[in-house]
Amino acid sequence: MANTLSFTFIALLIITTATRIWLGRRHIAYVQAHRKEVPAAFSSTISLDAHQKAADYSSAKTRLVISEASAQAILLALLTIGGGLQLIDNFWREMLATQEIARGALVIVSAMIVSSLVDIPFDYYKTFTVDEKFGFNKMTRSMFFSDMVKHAIVGVLLGAPILFAALWLMQGAGEYWWFYLWVVWSVFNLLMLAVYPTFIAPMFNKFTPLQDESLKQRIEALLVKCGFKSQGLYVMDGSARSSHGNAYFTGFGASKRVVFFDTLLERLNPHEIEAVLAHELGHFRHHHVIKRIALMFFVSFIGLALLGWLMNQDWFYAGLGITQTSDYMALLLFLLVSPVFLFLLRPFMASYSRKNEFEADDYAAKHANAKYLVEALVKLYRDNASTLTPDPLHSAFYDSHPPASIRISKLAAYTS
């Protein structure tokens, strides 16, 4: 059984990594093949220069994803079958022979640090080489590292209680520990959703109430028309880090708020801003957020039940390169290895997400003006240098948003 697991895991790791590389290369080839000419539907709104910039930016980002996929796969193989996790465990077993919970936390944190070490150089390169070259980066190096430290501190402050709760329940709560952990985890997530916009997001960005009176009135009129109550309209200094523009609707109950990136307000006219917000309201009206949360709860329930069973199977450890079994190692293996198995679900998740985007567009077309949403989307595609010609298979596999041409032709049907 252990050998079967080793074999299946390695085979899947190779298949998923090869798929990621193959899709990436297809995407680059497709984008480059369509680089010479702006697609007919955009010929009057997007210049050839902007189109080529988008092609080159997409290709550069995809090349980075390809290298990162390979690096992550190699590291994961080294940590598991290669014996890396067992080495980390041996080290902490010598340092801390008793106190299994504390040792478990140290082993898990050490493993997480090691796996994030692979991602840091890629993030750094993306920010200071790729984004910089295409004029999107606004971060300084000191900001990059201070953000990293802040993220680590927030991660430890928020993660430590849940990690200790998990290890404590695994050790002492009996056969149904996984169910109790699921309850704790779900409550924790709901709490995070409630506190994130008011307490955590402000640690990274500045949020100021929207000043522009006429825009404010227009947006409030839209909110009333759509039957929404929000706890305020905010502008976020997205421009401090990147020149990509966005808008979102966040939070729950009393912390519900509308947030606009300052970059978005600068580039779109009030009609377009209204249309973009109507799209965001469409997500809320169709309960996309709640459905996403429900799905996450369902998946974590299945996952934890599975972990409850796996932790008692010796082959689960042996098959993934672990010689000494422990509760914390079961948890760690599960966290590291399950994404490889879940990768195959990715196209289904992406397709579900694209369906939600169409519903939100449909809502926006009915409550605002579809023509302005099209204008806004074209501007956002242009200013974010998003490609108008993604490889169809790459897009079907990954993209949370439908390709520009399909989305815009659907919206155009409302205006004619």
Residues taking part in catalysis: 280, 361
Q: Please, where are the H alpha helices in 98-212?
A: 100-125, 132-133, 141-172, 177-195, 201-204
**What mask, x for binding Zn ion by CB under 5 A, covers residues 358 to 397?**
--x-------------------------------------
Segment interacting with Zn ion, rule: CB under 5 A, options 131-139, 155-163, 191-199, 356-364: 356-364
Residue nearer to Zn ion on the CB measure, 317 or 398: 398
Segment interacting with Zn ion, rule: CB under 5 A, options 15-23, 114-122, 214-222, 353-361: 353-361
Segment interacting with Zn ion, rule: CB under 5 A, options 8-16, 164-172, 224-232, 354-362: 354-362
Question: Count of residues binding Zn ion (CB under 5 A)?
Answer: 2
**What mask, x for binding Zn ion by CB under 5 A, covers residues 127 to 146?**
--------------------
CA distance 161 to 171: 15
Give which of 119, 220, 226, 100 is closest to 164, Cα–Cα: 100
The CA-based angle 347-406-285, given to 5 degrees, is 75
**What mask, x for binding Zn ion by CB under 5 A, covers residues 289 to 308?**
--------------------
Bridging pattern class, strands 257-261 and 207-209:
unpaired
CA distance 99 to 114: 23
Residues with Cβ < 8 Å from 149, sequence gap 6 or more?
none
| Nearest distance from C-beta of residue 360 to Zn ion, angstroms | 5
Residue nearer to Zn ion on the CB measure, 243 or 356: 356
Residue nearer to Zn ion on the CB measure, 318 or 396: 396
Residue nearer to Zn ion on the CB measure, 61 or 354: 354
| Nearest distance from C-beta of residue 357 to Zn ion, angstroms | 5
Segment interacting with Zn ion, rule: CB under 5 A, options 75-83, 324-332, 351-359, 371-379: 351-359
Residue nearer to Zn ion on the CB measure, 100 or 399: 399
Asked if residue 205 lies in contact with residue 236, where contact means CB atoms within 8 angstroms, the answer is yes
Question: Distances from the Cα of 290 to the Cαs of 168, 209, 252, 253, in angstroms?
Answer: 30, 26, 10, 13
Asked if residue 370 lies in contact with residue 412, where contact means CB atoms within 8 angstroms, the answer is yes
- How many other C-beta atoms lie within 10 A of the C-beta of residue 187? 10
| Nearest distance from C-beta of residue 356 to Zn ion, angstroms | 7
Q: At what angle do helices 327-342 and 48-79 cross, to 10 degrees?
A: 140
| Nearest distance from C-beta of residue 56 to Zn ion, angstroms | 26
Amino acid letter, residue 307: L
| Nearest distance from C-beta of residue 390 to Zn ion, angstroms | 17
Which strands make up the sheet holding 233-236, listed edge to edge? 207-209, 233-236, 257-261, 247-250
| Nearest distance from C-beta of residue 325 to Zn ion, angstroms | 45
| Nearest distance from C-beta of residue 14 to Zn ion, angstroms | 34
Dihedral of the alpha carbons of 63, 64, 70, 71, in degrees to the nearest 10: 160
Kindly state whether residue 88 participates in binding Zn ion, applying the rule CB under 5 A. no
Segment interacting with Zn ion, rule: CB under 5 A, options 60-68, 201-209, 295-303, 352-360: 352-360
Q: Which residues contact Zn ion by CB under 5 A? A: 357, 360
